[in-house]
Amino acid sequence: AKVGAVGVCPVVGLFRNKNVDGEVLFVTDWTPQGDLLSYCRTLMSPGLEREARVMQVLASLVSSVVSLHEHGTAHGNLSVESARLRWPNQRGHPEVLLSDLTHFKQGADALSARGPSGQAAYVAPEAHSSETHSAFAADFWAVGIIAYSMATGAHPWLSTAPGADKAYAYFVANGLEAFLEKRMVTMAGRRAADCMSWRLVSTLQLLLSSDPSQRADAVAFLMQ
């Protein structure tokens, strides 16, 4: 993978671990703010103020993912742990850098991927099919999970594998709005629907669409 793409965490080098036989250490630039999971722990309780900060970060995340895709590479393992924050950048805005490209796919392999890739909570539903799918569209589904997780402080579900998670099964059967009305956000003591603006809900409707072709519409909206 061309890890020198804009939005990818710069690589310092590969180093052999002398203490563990066969282990290679992949070293990247230091990012003081850490990953997005660490950043979430610094935010206030879920609500509109938290969401405003999340949307800033989300716009940068999407920009970095699009940049990687323009190099013909799908990440394949996007999560709150595989995206790092550098704040502020030279323009005073948050900058998200992608890391952990161990599941990347390129070219034809990305356009016709097979099987799930990445953490179970972030896997796009079409990846569980026996058919091929676009790893690029699957990346944008994972962005939707990141957006929900950052806004609420918790994942919406633990797995998208068929029959593996009751919360996800409810989402599939009833749709996003019904899911948000039912899902409680522990940090806020409120329903997820009460912690989000229409803008975020609309964005999630597209990113978490079962139709992969609709997810790009959310990307265009976020990059305006």
Which is the CATH superfamily of the domain at 33-222?
Transferase(Phosphotransferase) domain 1 (1.10.510.10)
Distances (CA, A) of 129 to 9, 124, 132: 32, 10, 8
pLDDT digits (tens, 9 = 90+) for 124-181: 999 999 999 999 999 999 999 999 999 999 999 999 999 999 999 999 999 999 999 9
pLDDT digits (tens, 9 = 90+) for 83-135: 998 866 566 678 898 988 888 999 999 999 999 999 999 999 999 999 999 99
At residue 29, the pLDDT reads 56
Distances (CA, A) of 108 to 77, 85, 123, 136: 18, 30, 20, 11
At residue 222, the pLDDT reads 82
Pairwise CA distance, residues 67 & 168, whole Å: 30
- Amino acid letter for position 78: L
The residue count of the chain comes to 224
Pairwise CA distance, residues 114 & 133, whole Å: 6
State mean pLDDT over 3-9: 49
End-to-end alpha carbon distance in the chain: 28
